[in-house]
Structure formats: structure tokens, C-alpha cells
Structure 1
Amino acid sequence: MKTCKEKALEWNVSPRSVNDMCKKGRIQGAIKEKGSWLIPDDSPKPMDGRVSNGKYIKKNMVAKAEVKSLPIGISDYVRAQEEYYYVDKTLLIKEFLDQKPLVSLFTRPRRFGKTLNMDMLRVFFEISDKNTSKYFVDKNIWQCGEEYRSHQGKYPVIFLTFKDVKFDTWDATIDKIRGLLQEEYGRHQELLNSDKLSQYEKEYFTKIISATANEVELTSSLERLSKMLASHYDKAPVIIIDEYDTLIQEGYSKDFYDEIIGFMRNFFSGAFKDNKNLSYGFLTGILRIAQESIFSGLNNLTVNSVMDEEYDSFFGFTESEVKAMLSYYGVSDKEEELKDWYDGYLFGSEEIYNPWSVINYISKGCLPQAYWVNTGKNEILDDVLRVATDDITERLYDLLQGERVVARIDQNVVYRSLAEDPANIYSLLLVTGYLKTPKKELQADGSYLCEVSIPNREIAAVYKSEILSHFLQTGAITRTTANKIAESLYANDYKKLQSAIGEYMDKSISFFDGGAEGFYHGLMLGLIALMDNQYKIKSNRESGDGRFDVSLIPREKRYPGIILELKWKEKLSDVELEKWSNEALKQIGELRYDSEMKEDGITEILKFGIAFSGKKVCVRTE
């Protein structure tokens, strides 16, 4: 018999993983003696427990009696906690009831559990013919005492989610809003038979439920429904609005911004401002749209953003929650890989994992990919690249190299503020999930001075994908050149790689307007997007007897090292340009820029001397 530690060494996993497998009955013949597990010498290592399509792989192992599927795309609380693996976030209810803010706005990036949490609040608070307490008796909130349990099932609830309201025109958008209100009024048809409502209220209710109300009448629909519910139940309702700013983002990108802002201002004002028929209000979104006065005069609004410590652990997964999930599915040995790819967010002071990506990673057999990028548009990055100044381009390069940059973060930014001031990109990138703040300091004006960085490998991959897409769309790189670089790297074809980089340089210099300060960093952003999987890219670093311009250090020894030395002068003739490129190539050898690579055992090194003048370029190689 062997100990967990001995078997861990044999199976190349952690002792904790072996102990966990013993406890779960996954190791045949394992017995517990004096508090320690003993395992037969010939006991085979169980399969790694990777999950495919939410089901356990059972071959060659003693499986659990039942393993719950992972809730990919499930935002229905009742279904999620009954049928799927559910991460218990019900203490959000306790924290809320302790603080009792009248109206709460939670801003988080997309796919961080906002809709599921809001549906959980709906099920907890809402009056129902069914006994809905059964959905909470085994959850954390139920252990907190009668003062919290007494709120369960005691309020009428109005619930709207705008997460799927994505249309190209204002007419189509308002039609969809009309349909959502029709559906929500339809959940409260008991009001049509209420003897506590007047005839004109029932007539208005009928207009909404028959979808004949005009735009002006729709703006007061929340206020009037809250009044009718309060009259009927003798209890002011809870109003929940999920993903309120989806409409605003669509309006911004589809050119009906003014219409949606005007509608939402009146819509929310009636529901949340001085509404005596309101017990509590909840809203979720990505941005706090304060500058547009949507919440004008709403002095009872409490905003909880990614910068705040209140509620910081309730959206996304904490480290302990991720460890428990990995253990449940028998893949605790994947913790480091998962952390590298999907951890790194900081909400308040809590380290948070991207929940969508964690769930997809485990369900796909622990295959690390950029899952989050496919859940929505990355227009914010496209906007950033379109307005990027030389300074922003340089900072993007630094971020992609894993460095931190200092930026002022204003949480009151709106989508169109990017065009007004490109410096707002860091605020937008933070709240939308593309940056984190390892260090922050509150300023007197309410903004933050922060060090920002890219959270994890997944988001770095998103940046690179969007940068490459942008360069292809704008003509900075052709698809032919990109493919040639990819193919030459795959085939380890030095000559083809040399030709492809020459083509890339030619295109890049024409696009970036050779000689501009942002040229070098724009050039390297493209290289990162094209070659980062195979190379670590450095710029302006010391090696040998000088400082090279650009060095591409292979991540695997089978690739060649690459050194680029760039020179620039105004108004050079073709002959002078050729001479200048030869000088650049000669400088690489004379100043031994390749010494660092050679010390690392890299023997194949491609050297490029590149001269440009205006939009002309000449590339020379050894």
C-alpha cells in the first residue's frame, strides 16, 4: 500500500488531488487508516475527470453517483440551482438587507452573473402561489436567521431584462420594449380582476398588455405598474432592471442615441425617483450612465462598481469557489492553468475569476481558449484602435508586454466620451472587463489614479485578435501577408518568413506614415498580433554593445531569433535608402545585438536592416 504523497509523485499530481479522489471513491481499493488514506500499489490513476458537454467521463474510474452539468448560458435561478452546478451567491441578499439602499446599481462586465443574480433576487422576494422557499432552504441565506427569511416571498416584483434588446433602429427597439412590457404586465394579470384598482388603471393595463400603448405612455409604465401592484397587495413592489445600458450601447453604435436616452430618462425617473410605491430597486449594467442624466435627481441611487468593495465577491467566482468547482469535477490539477487564463480581475479588493470562461473551460475538458470573446461584440477595442494617439498606441504595446501603465479612471464615462477624449479609453476598458487595477488612489474629484494592466491570458488573446482584425480591415496588413507569416512559422521556413516580414514592413510603414512617433509601437502591435504565440517581443533593450530596436525571441528553440534595426531620414533617394538599410544591417553585427540570443542557445537568427523615408521602405537581410 502507498500513501497519497507517494501516489501523487507516481501520477504527477498534487497529494491534495489524490486525497480528494480517495474521499470521492474514485480510487479502487483505497482505505482509510488512522486518518490517512492508503492506496494499493497497482491501483491505476483515475482518468483526469475532464468534462465533456457537462457529463463526466466514466471509463476506467469509479464515478460519482451523479455529477451535475455546468450551467452554460443558464440565467434562470430555479433551474440553475436545481439542475446544474450552482455557485451559491445568496449572501448577496443578506448584504443588501443589512445595508437597505433604496435603489442599487451594480456595474460589471458582461457575462459575470448579473442576470442570474437578479433572477435569484426576483425568486427570493416575489410573492408566489408556490412555496418558493424550497429554492433557498439549502442555501447560505437560509442559515442567516429569521430576520432574513422573513422577507422571502413577501413582495410583488417587476422584472425586466434588456440583455437581448439589440436592434439597428429606434423603431425596432421601441417595439421590443413594448413587447417586454407586455410580457411583464402579463405576469401580473391578477390586477385586471382586482377590486382595488380603478377603471382607468385597468384600461391602461389593457393598453400595455395588448401592445397598443404609444411611446409616451410606455415611459410611465413602470411607475403605473408599481402603483397598481402596491394597491392590490398593500405592499410596495421590488423593481429589477437587468442590463439597462444594453439599449444605450446599441443606440450609440446604431445612431439612435438621443432617442434612447430621452426615453430611458423618463422611464427610470417614474420608477425610481420619488416613487412612494417602491420597496427596493435593483439595476445592473456595464456602465454608469450618469453624464446623460438618466438618473437625474435620483439622490437615492447607490452605485456599486468594479472599484467598490461592497458586494465585491457576488459577481464572478472567487478563488475558493473555483477551487471547490475544480475539486467537484476532479480536475484540481488544472488550477494553475485556469488561474493563468481566467483569473486576475479585481472587484473592490476581491480577486475574481471570469465565471463564463471558467465554466466553459471545465466543460470543454479543460481546454484553455478565449471563451469570453465569443459572448459579445468587442466594439470598444475597435473604437480604441480607431482613435488611438501615439501615446495610447505606446501604452497598448506596454500592456500587451505584461506591464502596468498609469491612467486616470473616471467611472462616469459614457460610450460617446471616447470620441470626445481618447484618454477615456482606460476607464471604458476597465469597466467593460479589458483591464484591471492592481493599484488605485482616489482623487478629490471622485476619479481614481490607477495602475492598470491586462487581467489574464484570455484578455491578452482578445487584444491581439482585435488588433490583427483592425490592421486587416484598415489595410495595415493584408490577409496574404498574415497568412504567409503564419504558414512560414508553422513550417519553420526561414526564407518564407524573411519574405513575409519584408512585406509586413512595407505595408506597415505605408499605413503608419513612417517617421511618426507612434510608428514603432504601431509596428510592434502588429507583430504581437501576428507572432506572439511563437515569440516574446522586446523593443529598445540593451544587448551586446548597444540597444536594438526590435527583437523577437523565440518561445521554442525550433524557431529562429529575429532582430530588426530600423533607421529613418527625411527625403532620401532610393539609392540613399538602400545604403541606409545596409547600414542598419551592418549595425546589428558590429554592436553584437545577437549576443543575448546566442547566450540563450539560439543559433539561427534572422537579421533585418530596415530604412524608411516617408512612406518608402528598403529591407535588407543577411
Structure 2
Amino acid sequence: MKDIKFNIGCEDIEELINGGAYYVDKTAYLKNILMSSSEVKNSLFIRPRRFGKTLNLSMIKEFCKLNYQNPADKTYQQKLFIDNGRSLAVAGEDYSEFRDKVMGEFPVISISFKTVEGSCFQRAVSQLLYKFGMIYDEFDFLSKSSKQDPDDIETYRANKKFCKNQKDELYEPQNLSKAISIISTAIPQIGAMLYQEFGRKVIVIIDEYDVPLQKAVIAEEPYYSKMLEIIRTISGNTFKKDNQPWLYKSVVSGCLRIAHQSVFTDANNFTTYGMGDEPYTGFFGFTQDETGKLLEDCELSDKSSEVKEWYDGYRFGKQHIFCPWSLISYCNQALHSDNDKPQPFWINTSGNDLITMFTKNSMEAHDAGNLSKLQQLLDGERVNITLEEFTTYPDIHDRVSFDVFMTLMLHTGYVTYTEDSDSSGEVTIRIPNQEVLSCFRAKQKFLYGENNPYWFNQAMTLVDLLLENKELQAQELITSMLMSFLSVRNTRSEFYYHGFMTGVLGFACSAKGVEFHEEIEKGSGFPDVVLKKVSTDTVTVLEFKKGNNDRLARIDSANYATAQIIEQKYAEPFLKEGYSKVYGIGIGFGGKDCVVKSLGNMAKKK
């Protein structure tokens, strides 16, 4: 098997190329992005996490970046993109004129908001200030240049010093205000100085613009409106229509398409490219051809069907796109270990918390509609939604609608468009592949276990109700839990309901110190479940039956269950043992509902 080097998680094109790692060539897109018409001055690319946004933006930066010490020198780009033995698209003869005009010709201001977060607003601003401080460090030569206005140099030095010395002192209001001012104006200030220094327009790159907004929503002390104002001000000052002539083009990336009026206020010629927008549908992620070549290079072509099942399924425009993070991780595993079985590589990221929160909120609200639609997706079915344009980042704590949540999931890569669906307005979605399905199922397992306090408390309450013979309250609670339980659509078999009840009661009884027995031989047969609490001298015998999905059928099933308890003498052994409270309860199930019937305290009837 071939010895191919993979640099998993590498987001720096120079490190990847010079390190000899495998690279799927995306340089063919450079010409469109950087030489497109003046109508597309600023580009916003919306793609899911782990689809190569940062690496592609690194490619743009390194290809264009001017040698600030020797502006005529392009040997860095020549070595990185042309003379590397890889035959990249941009090295071709048809790109010769493009290279002359663009390669190594522009000052580049590049910043990533990927790690900007904090439990409170001040900490998030501190993270932003740190990142802008790095930009001031990068272009410090401007503060020593005779071409610059002395007032601009003074401001530059003061801002750089503040970024370094005050980023941890933002609890003081005057420092916080100053920090926000610097963050809001740093890019246009430095951009104008670079234009003055070199007489060349500047390229601005902002990676993951929406991460600070997402983190602001889910923070311990949410601060969304304050962070939105900062991002909006950065955008307005950098991309405004009446800007100075220092800006050539900008490229911005993110996961979520937030309405222009909310973030990109007064933006000049701003064009958003979503997952269905040409000509960039293949710019992020791996196309089918790129995936086929990767597997061939790794001598893994015989695994293509498994790879497709696990990592394909995304539809960007008319193209099938594979998740690059997962595909590279799989190939690396298959080549450098004994394990060539696909597995999830993409799930341990923050987006999964959104699934947990939405499902938990729907459970607490008893929103059977939301939960039923989630189950449809889990069953491999298609679901229709109306895409929502976000004027603010959705606050998942507020029990957002299913359409809002699924639009968010579409942007973050958890669902995708079906083959025959439009990509705007009314659309049809599905879970793309086995990897994402495993993520949903992992969250489902968590939500219905003891680690979820809401679900666990319901199960604990149900044990008490059954041991206290409170049949109507138990009926209401079981029905509520059935409504919430995502696998409820699998209602064809009595074994399903049996598994549901034993699963719920089993872990709750263990926590409460209640004896739990499943299908033990008692009397003339086997009752489905027996609960025994010695401290209160109580036994509850449970029998489950399934009927059709209507009330009369459920009543008949419950009566049939109680009759079986009597006929098979399930309670006799406990009555002989002298328990003072022995309850016989039959439960008739059908669809998402149940009927609970009790025989009362059979010890008193003896």
C-alpha cells in the first residue's frame, strides 16, 4: 500500500505543500475569484464546518501576498504554486497572464474569527483584540515608514500598544470602549496605510465571520446584540460604499447566511455564494472525481461504495460533494492502521450541541410535530421545509421553529438538499450520509439516558407513579414520553413498546433502589415487568399489549393485559410472600398513545 502523507487538520497551504502532504488542487478557482468583474468586489462563501474554507482562504492569501521587503520578488509564490512538482492548475500556461497580474501583487490583510468566544462579552472582545494585535505586529514596518503621515503612525503605535497591554484589562469601561473602537477601525486604517506605502490596492480576507455571533448566543452570559454591533461596524468600515480606493477585493467565509441588512450594512458590491451557487459549487469539499482520484492514489478504490455511503450525500448545486475532513481522516486511518472500516470523524464539534438543545427543547414543550419530523430524517425519509433568512443568529434556547432549525442544520452540514429539490424557498432535505446519521443517533441515545436530567426525571417519576398505583397520572406521563421518544414511529411490534418501557424503567429503578425484573417466571407464566420496593412493602406487576391506533383498541388491549395478569396468576407468588400492596397494571399501546388499567391492590382482594 502506498505511503501517502496526510496532514489532517492543516489549514495552511504553505505548510501542506512544503510538507509534502496530499493536496486536492483548488487553484483553478483563483482566476474567477480574483479577476472577476468589478460587480463582484466582495465575496461571501457560506459552507459547513470542516469543508476546507480556511485552507482555501490560505491559498488565496499566499498566492496574492506581496513581498513587503521586495515587492518585485515573486520567488515565494513561484516555489509554492508553480515549481513544486504537483502540476497545479494555476501553474498551467492558460494562467500565465493571470499570474502576471495577480500572483504576489497585493498587500493582504487576513484575519480569522474562528476561535473568538468567551463566557461574557469582555472575554470575547479580548479575543478579538488579540487577533487584531497580531495584524498590527505583522505590518509594524508601516510605523517606521517615511511614506506615512506622522499622525497615522502615532495612531498605529498607540493601537498596537493597547492591543498588547490592555487586552486583559477590559473590565474597565473606558478600556472596553477603546478596544471596540480599535477593532472596528483597524482594517481600514491598516488598509489605507498599505495603499499609501505600496501604491497597490489591498485584499481583505475574513475567515469564519459568524463564529463570534454563534458563540455569543450560547455563552453563559449571552451578548449577541453587542457582538453583532461589532461585526456590523467592522463590515461597514471595511466594505462601505464610499470607501477610500485602497480595497481591491475581499473574501469572507462563514457557515451561516445572515441577512445583509443585519451584518453587511452598506456593503459595496457584496455577493453571497451559498451551497447551490455557481461557479463555486466544487470549490469547497471534494467532488466525485477528486474523491475517486484520492481513493485510487491510496489504492482504496475497492472501498468506494462504503466511502460513498459514509461521506458522500452533500448536494452543492448539481454536484455531489464529499466531506474532506472525514475523507482524509478515513484514508489516513486505512493506510496507517489495520482498520479500513469507515467511522464518524466529523461529529465531535460544537454544532452537535444544537441538535441536543433543539431536541431537548422539543421534548420539554411536548412538541410531537418537531420530534416526528426529526424521526422521519432518522428513518432516511425526506422532509419539506421553508428556508428562513436569518436577520439574527437563531437562538436555539428560544425553541425556534423546525424550519429555522433545519435551515441552520443545512448551513452547518447536518442535512442537505435532495436531488430534485430547489435550493431556495420551499425545499426538501435529508440526512446526507451514515456519518451524520450516527451523530444524530448518538445525540438521541444521550437524550434518552440518565445523563439528560429532563428525561431521567420523567423516568424516575414514572417508577413512583406505578408503585403508587396512580394509573391516570402514569398514563399521561407515558403518553408524553412516547410523544417525545424519537423512535416512536417504529410501532409495528409489541416488542417495541416492551423495549421502550424496560429501557425507561430499568435505569430509573437502578437509581432509585427499586428492584426491576423483566419477564421472570411467576405464577403460570412470565409477566413483562415486575417492580418491587421492599421498604414500602410494594410490588407492581406490569403487562403490555399492543392494539390498533385508536382509543377503543387501546382500551381493549389494556383490559386484555389485566385479564392475563389474573388468568396467569402473575401476582400469586408476591401475595404468598405477604406483600401488603400488590398492584396489577395492564398497559394497552397503540401509535403514540396508551391506556393504563389497574386491578388495584390485589393483596386486599385475597
Secondary structure of the 1:364 match is helix
State the SS of the aligned residue for 1:346: strand
Structure 2 equivalent of residue 261 of structure 1: 228
Distance 1:617 1:371, change over 3 A: farther
Query: Do structure 1's residue 409 and structure 2's residue 358 form an aligned pair?
Result: no
Aligned Cα root-mean-square deviation (Å):
3.8
The alpha-carbon distance between structure 1 residues 582 and 142, as it changes in their structure 2 partners (threshold 3 A), is: farther
Q: What is the CA deviation profile of residues 169-217 of structure 1, one whole-angstrom value per residue up to 9, with x for unaligned ones?
A: 2111111111111111211122112222111111121123221553223
Q: What residue number does 2:437 align with?
A: 460
User: Radius of gyration: which is bigger?
Assistant: 2
Distance in 1 of aligned mates of 2:433 and 2:355 = 16
Structure 2 SS opposite 1:361: helix
Deviations 1:371-430 (A, max 9, x none): 100143412212321343322211111111111111111343643265354431121111
| Residue 311 of structure 1: how far off its partner (Å) | 0.5
Q: Compared with structure 1, are the counterparts of its residues 335 and 265 closer, same or farther at alpha carbon in structure 2 (3 Å cutoff)?
A: same
* 1:73 maps onto 2:9 in alignment: yes
Aligned partner of 2:573 in structure 1 is none
Q: Does 1:431 align with 2:411?
A: yes
Map of 1:70-149 to 2, 5 A cutoff?
70-83=6-19, 84-100=21-37, 101-128=40-67, 129=70, 131-137=76-82, 138-143=87-92, 144-149=94-99
Give the corresponding residue for 1:469.
446
Runs of 4+ off more than 6 Å: 509-512, 547-552, 567-573, 612-616
- The one-letter amino acid paired with 1:262 is E
Q: Distance in 2 between matches of 1:228 and 1:394?
A: 57
For 1:64-105, what per-residue CA distance to the aligned partner results, in whole angstroms no more than 9, with x for missing partners? 5xx331121100101112221011011120221353420000
Alpha-carbon distance in 1 for matches of 2:422, 2:295:
36
> Do the aligned partners of residues 584 and 198 (structure 1) sit closer, same or farther apart at CA in structure 2, a change above 3 Å counting?
farther
User: CA-to-partner distance for each residue in 1:247-306, whole Å, 9 max, x for gaps?
Assistant: 000111110111101111111111111223210001001002217611122251100111
**Alignment correspondent of 2:150:** 199
Paired letter, 1:199: P
> Identity of aligned pairs, percent?
26
Q: 1:310 to 1:581 in 2, by over 3 A?
A: farther
- Does the CA-based 8 Å contact 1:440-1:450 persist in structure 2? no
Q: Which residue number corresponds to residue 227 of structure 1?
A: 192
Alpha-carbon distance in 1 for matches of 2:203, 2:478:
59
Partner deviation per Cα, 1:563-595 (whole Å, 9 max, x = no partner): 97257899999x99852546999xxxxxxxxxx
2:346 corresponds to which of 363, 366, 372: 372
Aligned pair count reads 482
Q: Assess if the C-alpha contact under 8 Å between 1:565 and 1:584 holds in 2.
A: no
| Matched residue, 2:559 | 579
Contact 2:239 2:268 in 1 (8 A): no
2: distance between equivalents of 1:200 and 1:397? 63
- Alpha carbons 1:513, 1:614 under 8 Å: kept: no
| Equivalent residues in 2 for 1:144-543, closer than 5 Å | 144-150=94-100, 151-210=102-161, 211=163, 212=166, 214-254=179-219, 255-274=222-241, 275=243, 276-290=245-259, 293-365=262-334, 366-388=340-362, 389-412=367-390, 414-416=392-394, 418=396, 419=398, 420-439=400-419, 447-472=424-449, 473-475=451-453, 478=456, 513-515=477-479, 520=482, 522-523=484-485, 525-526=486-487, 538-539=490-491
What is aligned with 1:7?
Answer: none
* TM superposition shift of 1:448: 1.9
TM-score normalized by structure 1? 0.70
C-alpha deviation, 1:331, in angstroms: 1.4
| Alignment partners' CA distance in 1, 2:41 and 2:418 | 31
- The TM-score with structure 2 as length reference comes to 0.71
Find the residue that maps to 2:385 and give its secondary structure: strand
Q: Is the CA contact (8 Å cut-off) linking 1:81 and 1:135 kept in structure 2? A: yes
**What CA distance in whole angstroms lies between the structure 2 residues aligned with 1:570 and 1:145?**
72
Q: Gaps spanning 5+ residues in structure 1: where? A: 1-48, 50-63, 482-498, 528-536, 542-546, 553-561, 586-607
Aligned residues of 1:178 and 1:218 also touching (Cα < 8 A) = yes
CA distance in 2, matches of 1:72, 1:349: 28
Cα offset, 1:333, TM superposition = 1.0
Deviation of residue 134 (structure 1)?
1.7
In structure 1, what is the Cα distance between the partners aligned to 2:313 and 2:407?
17
Aligned residue for 1:565? 546
CA contact (8 A) 2:380 2:430 kept: yes
SS at match of 1:378: helix
